[in-house]
Structure 1
Amino acid sequence: MNHTFQSKWLALTTIFVVGTHASAAQMDKDVHARGKIVSLQAAAGCGIIKFGSPVTYQIMSGDRDLLGKQVVVVVECVEMPELSGKIPQFSVGDIHDLVLTRRNVHKIENSSPIDSQWFYLRSAKVAK
């Protein structure tokens, strides 16, 4: 290898490793945001087994990387909201203050794999 190629390769490798490390660290942090429900799909059969229901939120404030975007959040038993925290019900148009995570902190069961871009709901409350 010539010296110029080695230098460029080393620089790119360093950027990739540092960038990957930063992303991994960010995945462990909770994300705080306010969002409005634009769609939801209740998981059939929730109750005995904690199934996850995908709820799509339009992010209105909070994390700047998510601001204005729609994100899918896996909510534990959306038809049994008392399991999900302080939300009396989940309905399209509701606005919630959310704490989101990339980790399955509530050990939610899913019949199919969860998309890596989705979040899990750590906690939520009705926005005031």
Structure 2
Amino acid sequence: MPEFTNPFIGTVPRQMTHEELVRAIMLNISAEFEAVHLYLAHRDATTNEDARKVLYDIALEELVHVGEFTSLLYRLDPVSAQKVEEGIEEVRELLDSKAPAEASAGAEAAEGTESADAGRRLTVGSLLGKEG
């Protein structure tokens, strides 16, 4: 538990280097996504409409934080920005063409390689072989 009465609890022994700052911002982005997941999981776990509304609103605010941290990361680390943009463009091209994925899926079906449980919903547990 935080010790708010200790005025030195939040101090750090030194300033971060630029590289450490970049990594810290990446960690902050990850933490914001984790918070979104947590709040949405809590919303999904209750039927209280007031709580559901507030939790959803807070989750959306965390996504704004993701955007703010990502914008800062792009300013601090142009290489990360370039690589993220490359990934976005790859997906855009893949989804615009649609031909390769459809062709390979059709080939698998024609060969009869689909498993018997292809229609079953996959979960993390089923992918790890730990179904509950």
TM range (shorter): under 0.3
TM-score relative to the length of structure 2: 0.23
Q: Which has the larger share of strand?
A: 1
Q: Which has the larger share of helix?
A: 2
Q: Which of the pair has more CA radius of gyration? A: 2
